[in-house]
Amino acid sequence: MGQVGWKGLCLSLFDYKTEKYVIAKNKKVGILYRVVQLSILAYLVGWVFVVKKGYQDSDTSIQSSVITKLKGVAFTNTSELGERLWDVADYVIPPQGENVFFVMTNLIVTPNQRQDTCPESTGIRDALCSKNRDCPAGEAVIAGNGVKTGRCLKVGSNTNGTCEILAWCPVEKKSKTKKPLLANAENFTVYIKNSIRFPKFKFSKTNVLNTDDDSYLKNCHYSAQHLYCPIFHLGKLVSWAGNNFQDMASEGGVIGIQIEWDCDLDKPPSECNPHYSFSRLDNKFAEKSISSGYNFRFAKYYRDAEGVEYRTLIKAYGIRFDVMVNGKAGKFNIIPTIINVGSGLALMGAGAFFCDVVLLYLMKKSNFYRGKKYEEVKSSSRKSQPGGTVNGNQNSESLATLEQLRQLQTVEA
């Protein structure tokens, strides 16, 4: 590149360029352009700012604690346990009150189990035998209750029997009452205290009414009139999840309690309220399936007068309640506001580009419009200085260029 070329490049750095606008008197494209603009404006105002609150900074890292307490008593009369009164220490597991708690509604009791030898249950496939060698000593029974001793025990003249095992004897009973023993658990109440905090905004709140009245929580239950009384009947929790408590109590199940906090911190704190929703988390359509329900086993251990340990084995059926807390908080911040406004202006430019495509490539007179929008400049073989004179007269091309810069070109459709 010569010296003249470098000089022209350096001087061009100080040039100012401005756009040349062509006004197309075309009603179809004009209407389309306004429709696109209004659509973008409606999206920006309606969706971004009103619905999504794009003018706010948000915090979704909610910090939460849940405390639960149950109350209620039930009475049962069974052959294994006799007459018995059940309170929260008996049917609530775990007792310390966490965000997951289990309420026992039905049970199978196998009392007075001791470590001894006894026949394995006939329902265990790996324990079926016809001779002693089918029960190798020291081998654990697959999905069974103990370890084989090497003997095959038969009843009467039967050719087949079950292996003798070393286990807690007698082995667990399999029968279960069709009607739940603790059917009255439907009337038990649970107190769910939830405290939340949004660390970004240093905002904290709880779902319990802030009052000095000691009798408030003793006399209220959750309702539309008492949003800040988180005391619920278990029967209502299950019904709000779309299920019947008595049907669910026989085999057990899992209920989810969702607490949602959606807080607009541009409003008073009293406007930040908890919203509850309830659902069944296990498969309610598989109630007749072998995998339906919810149960587990636990034992209570004792010692007799001789110091020999024995236990009562309980297979507990019931309803597990999972308390889940989610939430977000928002507060005005200038940075997201500027970002969303800038995005809206960029979309306006995209709308203009779309209308340009329609005008220049999809209309019948697209060639005509393209010719008016884009000018083709060819270099002349004759050297002349722009804005100078030829034989004492100003260059005609320079005059035409100046005239075009002074006037706004109007194109008739």
Q: What is the pLDDT of residues 210-260, one digit of tens each?
A: 988 888 998 999 998 899 999 999 999 999 999 999 999 988 999 999 999
What pLDDT does residue 274 have?
A: 96
| Residues of the chain scoring pLDDT < 70 | 1-4, 17-18, 20, 284-291, 375-413
pTM: 0.76
What pLDDT does residue 334 have?
A: 95
Q: Are 148 and 135 in contact (CB under 8 A)?
A: yes
Q: What is the pLDDT of residues 133-179, one digit of tens each?
A: 999 999 999 999 999 999 999 988 899 999 999 999 999 988 777 78
What pLDDT does residue 330 have?
A: 95
What pLDDT does residue 372 have?
A: 75
What pLDDT does residue 376 have?
A: 65
